[in-house]
Structure 1
Amino acid sequence: MRIKHPTAVAVVTAALLTAFLPQPAGAAGGSLVAAWPMNEPAGARTMTDSTGHGHRGTVGHEVLTGTRISGATGYRFSRLEPDTPPPHPGHIVSVPDSSALDPGTRDYAVTLRFRTTGKFGNVVQKGQATVAGGNYKIQIPNGIVQCYYRGSAGAILISSPRKLNDGGWHTARCERTQKGVYLSIDGKLAASRGGWTGKIANSWPVTLGGKIDCDQIDVGCDYYNGDLDWVEISAG
Structure 2
Amino acid sequence: MAQANTMTNTLAQTILRIAKEAGDKIMAIYDKDFAIYEKQDTSPLTEADLAAHNVIVDALGKESDLPILSEESADISWDERKQWQSYWLVDPLDGTKEFIKKNGEFTVNIALIEDGKPTMGVVYAPALNKSYVGIVGEGAWTEVDGEFTAISARKHDGAEVWKIVGSRSHQSPEIQNLLSQLEGETELVAMGSSLKLCLVAEGEAHLYPRLGPTSEWDTGAAHAVALAAGANVTVLDPNDPLNDNADALTYNQKESVLNPFFLVSA
Higher strand share: 1
Higher helix share: 2
With normalisation by structure 1, the TM-score equals 0.29
With normalisation by structure 2, the TM-score equals 0.27
- Where relative contact order (Cα < 8 A, 6+ residues apart) is larger, the structure is 1
